[in-house]
Structure 1
Amino acid sequence: MSKSPIRSSIDYEQQGKQWGTLSVPYSYNLSGWSQLQIPIAQIANGEGPTVLLMAGNHGDEYPGQIAIMRLMRELNVEQINGRVIMIPILNVPASKASTRLSPVDGKNLNRCFPGDPVGTLTEVIAHYLTTELFPQADVVIDLHTGGRGVYFYPCAHMHLVDDLEQRQKMARGAMAYNTDFAFLYADIAGTGLLPVEAESQGKVVITTELGGGEVTSQPLHQLSQSGLRNVLVHLGLVEGEVQTRESLGLAPTRWIEALDAKDYLFSPESGLYESLVDVGQDVAAGQPLGALHFPERPDREPTIIEAHSDGILIAHRGPTVTNQGDILVCLAHNVSPDVLKTF
């Protein structure tokens, strides 16, 4: 691939704490020399792992953006053993517009990897991460929520990668977030995901789905921030004592999976969706999970969305207004003991 046109004001080889920007050529309106400015900070101190910490991959997912901005201000050089590169808002135009996709080119950053240095704005950003930042990192952390479209029971999640050493490190990182659930998920909505590109480069990848929707409660912000800091302590990057579920007086993390396409239930028609079961609840096969109502035919009985098997409702539709093909439910299952042994 050609060299990235993005310029960083950060010197990645320099020790200490730096604040800067990634400058992306971006001609719009009347200005031919405009740039999109992506905030970035780095703290480096001696030997240790390099952690690339990011949020705002989708613009309408804010807890991670806030958690990283807090860390950027709070961490100092003396607390660090290694290097942390922090990008709180990868998709700046989408964050400003409260949208999942970039309003500049309509692209989903999380479907654009490995990217293109001469492509659209979003593709150029993906290419820079792929070729410049992922190769420098030992660990890649990409913080998500379900955005405005999906509400998740807050969880750390990961792919079931083939390399067992990589899988074990990723699982330990997921458990360090201290969420009630750790979730193994499948890619059902296309290719080009950020985690997949980082995994293919052999990186330890840690990701989350911390709720979703327009409202973020104080406990959810607290989980986002405390869990992230605990992961950095677990990695040996930040000094401190690792907190475990046991030390917090909590039950062990419950590992669940949704690896079959049947576990993802989509709306058969357009209508108004009524959730009948809260996320995080165990359900039985045949149990009603939601009802799809039809405002143009209020005399018509709603379509009932049922569980196809026993499981755990890990996520459901966020907005009430629903179009045909929108995700309604993700039904997860307990991870088998054989898989757990590989952790």
Structure 2
Amino acid sequence: MTQTPIRTKIDFEQPGTQWSTLNIPFSYNLSGWSQLQIPIATMANGDGPTVLLMAGNHGDEYPGPIAIMKLMKTLQLEQISGRIIFIPAINIPAAKAATRLSPLDGKNLNRCFPGNAEGTVTEIMAHYLTTEIFPRVDVVIDLHTGGRGVYFYPCAHLHLVDDLEQRRRMAQATLAYNTDFAFLYADIAGKGLLPVEAENMGKTVVTTEMGGGEVTPASVHRTTQSGLHNVLIHLKVLQGEEQSRADLGLAPTRWIQALDADDYMFAPESGLFESFVDVGADVSAGQPLGGLYFLERPDREPTIIEAPSDGIAIAHRGPTLTSQGDILFCLAHDVDPAVLKTFE
């Protein structure tokens, strides 16, 4: 196996607190001796699980990086039982450019796994996570939003993995995020996902979709941060008392899923998109969900997008300006009680 070119001063076996960078050789300015530097920190104390806590997989998703940066500066070493690896912006070129893809190579990190040590900078980072980080950890927490393109009702989500014990661990950790919905989703946009790579190694994987768009309400930041803190307590890497939704005076988390291709509705043509329903709303089959309007043909009737079935509008298009093929709605459905039994 080709060795990674990434270098760091972090000693992943060393106790205590360490701050450093992951350094990738990359000549992108006037100097041939340049490197891309990605901040990383570790806190390790005593026995317990090792948790990788990361965000910025896509660069235009900011509640996760903020939550991690706040957490890594406020935690005290004595609060930890085990090890936490913090990477607040794994795709820092994209985060600095507010783009989903890396501006350095045009790659989507979340479609580059298992990576390539001799590839582009994004492929090198995927390879490093696959070969150097994932094997060291028990849990991978990968914080997302819908980015600028999609607005989600804030939720924690997961894949329905085949291993039932792994599935149970993931479901219980997902519930600990205390979001209104817990979302099972399908991979409709290709292979090479970071969570799948970690799942295939047997890791407990927790992911989120915390809203999206340019504006992040304070409530979404609070949910991202409080949920993350509670998950770390649930995992027993952080000391404290885990809180349930009942403790918070909230109704139980509602498990939903979008596992069929028909649950994802795309724009049949370009236009201006108006959503008729808010995310989180229950909708009925045939109900108009939104309309596409046409700047150059104001005389045309809008193209109406209807719900193909009963369900929950868990996500919809973010920007109003829409191109043919853009996602307009994701329609979710309540999870079968028999599947829910496998989470217990």
TM class, shorter-length = over 0.9
Give 2:181's aligned residue.
181
Say if 2:313 is the partner of 1:279: no
Give 1:101's aligned residue.
101
Say if 2:342 is the partner of 1:339: no
Give 2:265's aligned residue.
265
Structure 1 position 28, deviation (Å): 1.4
Residues 289-321 of structure 1: CA deviation (Å, up to 9, x unaligned): 000011111100000000000000000000000
The 5-angstrom pairing of residues 113-128 of structure 1 reads 113-128=113-128
Q: How does the TM-score come out when normalised to structure 1?
A: 0.99
Say if 2:132 is the partner of 1:148: no
Q: How does the TM-score come out when normalised to structure 2?
A: 0.99
Identity of aligned residues (%): 74
Aligned equivalents of 1:249, 1:175: Cα separation in 2:
15
Structure 2: gaps (5+ residues): none
Aligned equivalents of 1:113, 1:9: Cα separation in 2:
24
Aligned equivalents of 1:28, 1:143: Cα separation in 2:
28
The 5-angstrom pairing of residues 287-306 of structure 1 reads 287-306=287-306
Structure 1 position 29, deviation (Å): 2.6
Give 1:314's aligned residue.
314
The 5-angstrom pairing of residues 1-343 of structure 1 reads 1-343=1-343
Residues 324-343 of structure 1: CA deviation (Å, up to 9, x unaligned): 00000000000001100000
Aligned equivalents of 1:15, 1:234: Cα separation in 2:
22
Aligned equivalents of 1:55, 1:331: Cα separation in 2:
25
Q: Which amino acid aligns with 2:294?
A: F
Number of residues paired by the alignment?
Answer: 343
Q: Alignment partner of 2:211: what SS?
A: coil
Aligned equivalents of 1:72, 1:24: Cα separation in 2:
23
Residues 31-52 of structure 1: CA deviation (Å, up to 9, x unaligned): 1110111000100001100000
Q: Which amino acid aligns with 1:325?
A: G
Q: Alignment partner of 1:104: what SS?
A: coil
**Runs of 4+ more than 3 Å apart:** none
Residues 248-290 of structure 1: CA deviation (Å, up to 9, x unaligned): 0000000000000000000000110000000000000000000
Native 8 Å contact 1:173 1:231 kept in 2: yes
Aligned equivalents of 1:105, 1:154: Cα separation in 2:
30
Q: Alignment partner of 1:7: what SS?
A: coil
Please report the RMSD computed on the Cα atoms of aligned residues, expressed in angstroms.
Answer: 0.5
Residues 117-174 of structure 1: CA deviation (Å, up to 9, x unaligned): 0000100000000000000010000000000000000000000000000000000000
Aligned equivalents of 2:28, 2:67: Cα separation in 1:
31
- 2-11 vs 325-334, greater mean Cα deviation: 2-11
Q: Alignment partner of 2:178: what SS?
A: coil
Native 8 Å contact 1:17 1:76 kept in 2: no
